[in-house]
Structure 1
Amino acid sequence: MQRRTFLLDATAIASCMVTQVEAGNLSTADKHFVVKAGDARFGVHPPYRGVNANDVKISGKDTNGQLAVFEYIGKEMIGPALHVHHDQDEIFSIIDGEYLFQVGNEKFTVKAGDTVFAPRGIPHTWIQLSAQGIQVYMVQPAGQLEDFFLALNELKEAPTEESIKRMHESYGMSVLGPPLSLR
């Protein structure tokens, strides 16, 4: 990218952020907060597929719906079904471990220190390749992902394929295919 183009883009982004702040659209939190390692924003630790941690670190309630941040701690080599967020971009920052990602039709491996951007409307999925893994991921705007995970946590039994598809739809996402497999 040329320096001039980068500076123009950075200026446009900064201008947009200032407008959002002036309009009062970025945050509803009235003071700072810290979510300690191992903690979740509101003390709820919804497991992912019954085994891995999937904690809210910054809630959409904190940002007037503009952003939600989650921490995923994986002890099993699993990942989500191929899915799409209709109204949110998703950003993954790999803290520990190695993952195989698919965004659109492209598959690639990422490891600690790497960041993946999955634009709204583009199908994506991933699978953990290492025995342990940690990623911090964000959705922007926050949408209903936090509520989706809380609803999953309240299920009394494993959802059927059809019920999980309906659940995704009711929270602004669509399941398009199975999870990636290591086989």
Structure 2
Amino acid sequence: MVSRTKLENIYGLVFNLINLSLYLLAAIASLMKAIVAPSSVSQVLTCVYALILSLALLVMESKSFDMAVYYFRFFTLYRGRAMLAILLGSIVLSNSEHLFLLAAGILNLVFGLTYLVLSFIPQTPVPRPVYDNWQNWKEYSAEGLDLERPVDSSNMMDSANRLKMSMLEKPQQSKVNPI
């Protein structure tokens, strides 16, 4: 049986992977839209802003910085990430004729709406950067919290039972002080 914290960590890593791929997809799509299909200067500037925002989100998803967390607190909440994904999806999707731009815009919109729904569920864990989730994963794996118990444990003793047995075998010695 996997513990709740282990599952939350796995969900966090999966969401990190989805976020990184969405932000990278939005960055590539906004760059492609600015180069391949520019219709006006304002559209090119909007695509450049979307590219900068996508790259900033990629960095924030990888590792959090104190200054960025202090000034851009909405990056650390599902509701804020949802709004930014919807914004990126709508920028990429507007006036798009290429299949890649349509797919990138629709994916960002769908996951933005999914994150918006997740933000209203109270049991959803707080999103953390990849670095934090990966460190937690390595700690859980090193401690053996992800290992299952052996099926045939008749000959095996776990460490808690061994510790109890070692304490039972050694009687405590008392010192008698002479008067």
More helix as a share of residues: 2
- Tell me the TM-score range normalised by the shorter chain: under 0.3
TM-score w.r.t. structure 1 length? Answer: 0.21
More strand as a share of residues: 1
Q: Of the two, which has the highest radius of gyration?
A: 2
Could you say which structure has the greater relative contact order, defined with CA pairs below 8 angstroms and 6 or more residues apart?
2
